């Protein structure tokens, strides 16, 4: 049986336990920082945002970023000016990207058909297909072509065609389509009888047309005595660009050669071409591309540069 400790031994053991407890508390105290010391509070510094300039995409240009519409052909629309008697019908060729580029305006060519034909003659002979090909290959700048109808040539309304064209059709086209409406960017041309109209209107209304294309010209008999005087009235600074061509078997070759001599004598710049062929659609179809290239080249040499359709 264990022995009981006396009171003195018990008091000594109690004192030892208190001493050990005090030492333990002091050791814990020095292990902790003093109560009056301010500990640094960890601060999370937000990362500095560095703004990196993102370069803007380059401004789209016809050569840098081709538009999708430049892979698609233009279109031909049918229209009519109702206010004339009879109503003046026409076809109109609108080049590729006409709808996709609403701020662009274009030169305009009035291309007249021959006697006994209608407004689709130039279309049948390939004018629209040639224009699409040249534009899509970027060989010519785009322009609008108007094909007026002159089907009433042999009835009472026939002689009024010219008046309907200059007084009604031209203003109507300028108001309803995005043309460049100045003289320098408006041309008139035609084949056979259509060339006769182009000659009459181009000389009598030289204020409207800066370019004349006379393809297998069949000048009106009543006009022939006055052509020299009409030419002399035009100020030299306003002489139109003139292209005359005919086939060597054309029945109008004699007069056309005489007219070309008149232009030369008056010092009026012009192009004269005598080709193999006759006065027929075989001849005109063979030269459609040449004609259209010539109109485009005339505008390309003018200011503002017609090689890029002008924006307004």
- Is there a contact between 235 and 206 (Cβ–Cβ < 8 Å)? no
Q: What does the alpha-carbon distance between residue 73 and residue 65 come to, in Å, rounded to a whole number?
A: 18
Structural fold of domain 76-300: Rossmann fold (3.40.50)
Six token digits for residue 222: 């009543």
pLDDT of residue 158: 72
Higher pLDDT pick, 216 / 37? 216
pLDDT of residue 83: 95
pLDDT confidence tier of residue 278, bands split at 50, 70 and 90: very high
Q: Is residue 122 pLDDT above 80, yes or no? A: yes
Q: Is residue 276 pLDDT above 80, yes or no? A: yes
Calculate the alpha carbon distances from 271 to 4, 50, 214, 244, 298 in Å: 146, 66, 10, 6, 12
- 166-190 per-position pLDDT tens digit: 999 999 999 999 999 999 999 999 9
Q: Residue 303 burial (CB < 10 Å; 0-12/13-18/19+)?
A: exposed
Q: What does the alpha-carbon distance between residue 205 and residue 193 come to, in Å, rounded to a whole number?
A: 18
**Mean model confidence pLDDT for the chain:** 83
Q: With pLDDT > 70 as the criterion, what percentage of the chain qualifies?
A: 75
Apex 33 CA angle, 28 and 36, nearest 5: 125
Q: Is residue 24 pLDDT above 50, yes or no? A: no
pLDDT of residue 3: 39
- Is there a contact between 185 and 108 (Cβ–Cβ < 8 Å)? yes
Task: Classify 303 in phi/psi space as left (phi over 0), alpha (psi -120 to 50) or beta.
Answer: beta
- Peptide bond before 250: cis, by omega within 30 degrees of 0? no
Domain ranges of the chain: 76-300
- 219-257 per-position pLDDT tens digit: 999 999 999 999 999 999 999 999 999 999 999 999 999
pLDDT of residue 157: 63
pLDDT of residue 79: 98
- Is there a contact between 311 and 62 (Cβ–Cβ < 8 Å)? no
pLDDT of residue 196: 97
- 27-84 per-position pLDDT tens digit: 333 333 333 333 333 333 343 333 333 343 444 444 444 578 989 999 999 999 999 9
Q: With pLDDT > 90 as the criterion, what percentage of the chain qualifies?
A: 71
Rounded mean pLDDT of 194-208? 98
Highest average pLDDT, of 14-18, 66-70, 98-102, comes from 98-102
Q: Is residue 309 pLDDT above 80, yes or no? A: no
Q: Against a cut of 0.85, is the pTM above it?
A: no
């Amino acid at each position: 049986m264990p022995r009981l400790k006396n009171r003195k031994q018990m008091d000594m053991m109690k004192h030892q336990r208190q001493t050990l407890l005090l030492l333990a508390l002091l050791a814990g105290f020095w292990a902790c920082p003093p109560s009056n010391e301010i500990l640094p509070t960890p601060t999370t510094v937000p990362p500095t945002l560095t703004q990196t300039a993102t370069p803007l995409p380059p401004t789209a240009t016809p050569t840098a970023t081709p538009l999708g519409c430049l892979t698609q052909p233009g279109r031909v629309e049918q229209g009519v000016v109702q206010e004339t008697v009879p109503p003046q019908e026409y076809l109109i060729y609108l080049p590729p990207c006409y709808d996709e580029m609403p701020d662009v305006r274009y030169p305009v060519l009035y291309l007249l058909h021959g006697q006994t034909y209608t407004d689709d003659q130039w279309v049948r002979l390939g004018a629209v297909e040639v224009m699409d090909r040249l534009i899509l290959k970027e060989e010519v700048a785009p322009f609008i072509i108007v094909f007026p109808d002159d089907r009433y040539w042999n009835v009472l309304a026939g002689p009024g065609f010219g008046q309907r064209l200059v007084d009604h059709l031209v203003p109507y086209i300028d108001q309803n389509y995005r043309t460049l409406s100045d003289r320098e960017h408006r041309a008139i041309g035609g084949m056979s009888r259509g060339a006769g109209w182009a000659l009459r209107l181009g000389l009598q209304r030289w204020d409207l047309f800066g370019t004349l294309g006379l393809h297998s010209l069949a000048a009106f008999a009543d006009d022939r005595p006055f052509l020299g005087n009409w030419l002399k009235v035009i100020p030299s600074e306003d002489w139109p660009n003139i292209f005359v061509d005919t086939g060597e078997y054309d029945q109008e070759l004699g007069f056309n050669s005489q007219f070309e001599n008149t232009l030369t004598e008056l010092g009026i710049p012009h192009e004269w071409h005598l080709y193999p062929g006759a006065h027929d659609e075989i001849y005109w179809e063979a030269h459609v591309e040449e004609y259209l290239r010539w109109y485009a080249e005339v505008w390309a040499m003018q200011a503002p540069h017609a090689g890029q359709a002008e924006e307004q």
